[in-house]
């Protein structure tokens, strides 16, 4: 008898429900009991349905009012919005469509268009009914998976030609529990197969999967009213834009701790992503950033303290995951993550990070010098790397005349570089997620005599123009600004202003597109982070959604379809307002085609770029895989091909540096672990993108010697068109 035939052997016990659910939802729970395997779990546990509180209802009413009357986007609560909230809520609760069935959804249809009216008046029960049924279905699915494991994973058949869809977000809901059973057999088979291919024995696989599913099951039984409320409110607030969100009282506490920078941890910003906790960005200078292995869009599967066994955190609340990762300085936490570029969720990687404080001095701007030999001419290029836009507000408020800030530090670095006789300057803003707005404004002022730097429009269409009022200029030579997809907010303001003024060239990849401003407003219960205004460049175009488009583009490993404002649901659109008068220091239109041609010629013969493009193509092929084979031989062949490619790319990079290649992938991974463990390891050779920025700067000088000083001779003053 096959596993598929065994699943009808006995019923899962129906869990009891207390009063409080509406009659229709109660009936849905009673009639949709699935057939499945009996897991060896504690059957004395029952799911206790959660119910809304009076405080939550009041907070809901306040949230609805603030969204309608103070948010930047004008959006009424309509029947259409009600349906969108319904869909977003289901996506949050079951985004991969692995718990609920179409039969379950049919029970919800009658409330689909009623949620909006209910949310206006604090009637939360419909949302809680949906949440309670989903939790019950999660429990049933996890018991089914545990039942499969109890039967023995050696009973699973890996000789068929089955395959499994990797991303089910756009798939249809399974029609009934029988179809869902078949799907979950595939999910368990996929998890077993992935671990077998990594050399894990069946006993360990069984232990790993049991620990994972039991941990999720425990969390499902421990659902709280606040979990349902926060999920429901964020589905609601997310209709206005992805940066507007509700913070429960507990989440508010974590948010305030993070904003004060007093947190000892790993230096990563996290958010909930369906049942996972996802890395949004790394704090510059923080332990995770310095360790180098954790990346944005990685999803955390488990957390281990020191040498202890890992705790599976799939399905955990965000605040609980944060508590688990947070810890005393110099202690080690190990995160098991699904890498952002993994072909499926069964591929994980363990990353050990030593906790520490995020120190301001480690976020500071730094400088370097590179020498370029071009024919008979040598160029000295200054490089200033700015990880974030920072200011020591405490020292500033205390009246310390030497307080640290981005602009002050960069001004001093420019003086040192000019003393070194640099011919031009490269400012590296890659991975700079923003920071203090006034620092972006002041930093622009180091490169222009004076003028507007950014426009800010609020919900009432009032426009505030920030300006550099200081006529002094710290640097008047040729300038290149490097950006990538992780350059956001204040970085985009600086890069956009430099581009609009014709003060320098932007080189790299399209920036994030975060062009909105949020404010945190207290509620009677928790807080509301709400978008209240929008950034616009001096040329009139918004940095929102579109970001800054580089003058010369360099491809990046970062997946734009997953990271960036335009990858987020309900992001505010790009638009433009009237430009403000500003100087235009140089018109690059006469030389930009030649600059691009020279750049492309260099890259066409560059082994570093060839290797980068090979890696991008490899990652893209991984991302484009929409299904995975459940046949052992076919999967093994695919797995070995992926490993060979990874090893080939790593060894090609080592050969460029004159280093010995690795014999096996295990050798590569051991070396990576050793490098990550040593936070003092540095790479003395600046990456080739920075060097290319220097070459572009040299090209600028060769094509037009007026760039020796492009601030003094202002070309013209105009209302430039939007970029």
Cα(353)–Cα(288) distance, rounded to whole angstroms? 6
For 374-408, letters b (16+ CB in 10 Å) and e give: eeeeebebbbbbbbbbbbbeeeeeeeeeeebbbbb
How much is the average pLDDT of 437-447?
A: 95
User: How many C-beta neighbours within 10 Å does residue 20 have?
Assistant: 16
Instruction: Judge whether residue 719 has pLDDT over 50.
Output: no
> So what's the pLDDT on residue 296?
86
Which regions of 88-165 does DSSP assign to beta strands (E)? 163-165
- Residues 655, 661, 667, 670: what is their CA dihedral angle, to the nearest 10 degrees? -30
Share of the chain above pLDDT 90, in %: 59
Q: What are phi and psi of 521, to 5 degrees?
A: -115, 135
Instruction: Judge whether residue 301 has pLDDT over 50.
Output: yes
Q: What is the pLDDT of residues 193-233, one digit of tens each?
A: 989 988 899 999 999 999 889 989 998 998 999 999 999 99
Q: What is the pLDDT of residues 103-116, one digit of tens each?
A: 999 999 889 999 99
Cα(188)–Cα(72) distance, rounded to whole angstroms? 45
Instruction: Judge whether residue 2 has pLDDT over 60.
Output: no
Can you read off the two tokens belonging to residue 513?
Answer: 């597109």
Can you read off the two tokens belonging to residue 333?
Answer: 């936490």
Which of 189, 514, 534, 546 is catalytic? The answer is: 514
> So what's the pLDDT on residue 494?
98
* Cβ–Cβ < 8 Å for 465, 543: no
Instruction: Judge whether residue 633 has pLDDT over 90.
Output: yes
Of 67-71, 151-155, 261-265, least confident by mean pLDDT is 261-265
Can you read off the two tokens belonging to residue 276?
Answer: 């996972």
Instruction: Judge whether residue 15 has pLDDT over 50.
Output: no
Which of 181, 468, 500, 551 is catalytic? The answer is: 500
Share of the chain above pLDDT 70, in %: 86
Which of 364, 489, 509, 539 is catalytic? The answer is: 489
How much is the average pLDDT of 353-366?
A: 78
For 319-338, letters b (16+ CB in 10 Å) and e give: bbbbebbebeeeeebbbbbb
> So what's the pLDDT on residue 399?
82
How much is the average pLDDT of 267-289?
A: 82
Q: How confident is the model at residue 1 (pLDDT cuts 50, 70, 90)?
A: very low
Alpha-carbon distances of 243 from 340, 402, 514, 572, 648, rounded to whole Å = 21, 35, 10, 10, 40
Closest CA to 568 of 68, 88, 77: 88
Q: How confident is the model at residue 13 (pLDDT cuts 50, 70, 90)?
A: very low
Q: What are phi and psi of 354, to 5 degrees?
A: -85, 125
- DSSP string covering 696-723: HHHHHHHH-GGGGG-SSS--EEE-PPP-
Instruction: Judge whether residue 256 has pLDDT over 50.
Output: no
Q: What is the pLDDT of residues 122-146, one digit of tens each?
A: 999 999 999 999 999 999 999 999 9
Can you read off the two tokens belonging to residue 506?
Answer: 């932007």
Q: What is the pLDDT of residues 158-201, one digit of tens each?
A: 999 999 999 999 999 999 999 999 999 999 999 999 899 888 99
What the chain holds in terms of domains, given with CATH numbers, is: 3-237 (no CATH), 262-357 (2.30.42.10), 362-516+534-606+688-718 (3.90.226.10)
* Cβ–Cβ < 8 Å for 270, 282: no
User: How many C-beta neighbours within 10 Å does residue 505 have?
Assistant: 25
- Residues 458, 462, 466, 467: what is their CA dihedral angle, to the nearest 10 degrees? 160
How much is the average pLDDT of 678-698?
A: 74
Average of per-residue pLDDT values in the chain: 86
The segment with the largest mean pLDDT, out of 397-401, 526-530, 623-627, is 526-530
Q: What is the pLDDT of residues 40-89, one digit of tens each?
A: 656 668 899 999 999 999 999 999 999 999 999 999 999 899 999 999 99
Q: Tokens 């290649």 map to which residue?
A: 661
> So what's the pLDDT on residue 254?
53
> So what's the pLDDT on residue 314?
85
Q: What is the pLDDT of residues 562-597, one digit of tens each?
A: 899 999 999 999 999 999 999 999 999 999 999 999
**Residue 514 bears catalytic tag:** yes
How much is the average pLDDT of 264-285?
A: 81
* Cβ–Cβ < 8 Å for 642, 176: no
């Amino acid at each position: 008898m096959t596993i598929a035939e065994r699943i009808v052997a006995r019923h899962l016990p129906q869990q009891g429900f207390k009063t409080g659910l509406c009659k229709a939802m109660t009936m849905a729970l009673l009639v949709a009991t699935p057939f499945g395997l009996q897991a060896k779990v504690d059957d004395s546990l029952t799911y206790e349905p959660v119910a809304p509180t009076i405080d939550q209802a009041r907070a809901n009413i306040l949230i609805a009012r603030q969204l309608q009357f103070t948010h930047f986007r004008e959006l009424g609560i309509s029947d259409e919005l009600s349906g969108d909230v319904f869909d977003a809520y289901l996506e949050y609760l079951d985004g991969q469509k692995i718990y609920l069935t179409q039969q379950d959804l049919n029970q919800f249809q009658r409330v689909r268009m009623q949620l909006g009216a209910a949310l206006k008046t604090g009637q939360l029960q419909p949302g809680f009914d949906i949440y309670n049924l989903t939790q019950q279905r999660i429990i049933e699915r996890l018991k089914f998976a545990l039942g499969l494991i109890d039967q023995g994973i050696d009973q699973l058949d890996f000789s068929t030609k089955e395959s499994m869809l990797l991303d089910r977000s756009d798939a249809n809901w399974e029609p009934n529990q029988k179809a869902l059973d078949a799907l979950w057999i595939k999910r368990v088979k996929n998890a077993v197969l992935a671990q077998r291919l990594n050399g894990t024995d069946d006993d360990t696989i069984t232990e790993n999967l049991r620990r994972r599913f039991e941990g999720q099951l425990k969390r499902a039984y421990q659902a709280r009213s606040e979990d349902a409320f926060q999920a429901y409110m964020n589905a609601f607030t997310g209709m206005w834009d992805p940066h507007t969100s509700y913070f429960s009282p507990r989440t508010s506490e974590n948010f305030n701790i993070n904003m004060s920078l007093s947190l000892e941890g790993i230096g990563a910003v996290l958010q909930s992503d369906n049942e996972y906790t996802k890395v949004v960005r790394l704090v510059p200078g923080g332990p995770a950033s310095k360790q180098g292995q954790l990346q944005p869009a990685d999803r955390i599967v488990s957390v281990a303290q020191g040498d202890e066994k890992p705790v599976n955190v799939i399905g955990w609340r965000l605040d609980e995951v944060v508590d688990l990762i947070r810890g005393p300085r110099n202690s080690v936490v190990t995160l098991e993550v699904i890498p952002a570029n993994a072909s499926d969720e069964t591929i994980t990687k363990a990353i050990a990070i030593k906790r520490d404080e995020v120190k301001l001095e480690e976020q500071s701007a730094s400088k370097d010098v590179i020498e370029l030999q071009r024919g008979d001419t040598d160029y000295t290029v200054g490089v200033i790397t700015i990880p974030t836009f920072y200011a020591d507000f405490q020292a500033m408020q205390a009246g310390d005349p030497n307080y640290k800030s981005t602009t002050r530090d960069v001004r001093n670095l420019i003086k040192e570089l000019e003393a070194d006789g640099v011919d031009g300057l490269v400012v590296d803003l890659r991975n700079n997620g923003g920071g203090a707005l006034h620092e972006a404004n002041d930093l622009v002022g180091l490169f222009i005599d004076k003028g507007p730097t950014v426009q800010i429009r609020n919900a009432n269409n009032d426009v505030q123009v920030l300006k550099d009022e200081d006529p002094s200029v710290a640097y008047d030579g040729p300038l290149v600004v490097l950006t990538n997809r992780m350059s956001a907010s204040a970085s985009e303001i600086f890069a956009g202003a430099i581009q609009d003024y014709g003060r320098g060239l932007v080189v790299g990849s399209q920036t994030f597109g975060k062009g909105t401003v949020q404010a945190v407003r207290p509620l009677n219960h928790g807080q509301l982070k709400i978008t209240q205004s929008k950034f616009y460049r001096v040329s009139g175009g918004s940095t929102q959604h579109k970001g800054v488009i580089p003058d010369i583009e360099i491809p990046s490993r970062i997946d734009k379809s997953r990271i960036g404002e335009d990858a987020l649901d309900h992001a505010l659109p790009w638009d433009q307002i009237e430009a403000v008068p500003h100087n235009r220091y140089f018109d690059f239109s006469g030389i930009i085609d030649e600059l691009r041609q020279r750049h492309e010629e260099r890259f066409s013969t560059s082994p570093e770029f060839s290797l980068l493009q090979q890696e991008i193509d490899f990652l893209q092929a991984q991302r484009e895989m929409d299904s995975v084979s459940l046949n052992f031989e076919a999967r093994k062949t695919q797995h070995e091909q992926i490993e060979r490619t990874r090893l080939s790319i790593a060894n090609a990079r080592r050969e460029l540096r004159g280093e010995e290649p690795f014999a096996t992938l295990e050798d590569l991974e051991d070396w990576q672990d050793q490098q990550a463990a040593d936070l003092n390891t540095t790479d003395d050779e600046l990456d080739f993108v920075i060097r290319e920025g220097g070459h572009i700067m040299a090209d600028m000088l060769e094509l037009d010697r007026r760039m020796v000083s492009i601030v003094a001779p202002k070309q013209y003053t105009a209302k430039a068109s939007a970029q």
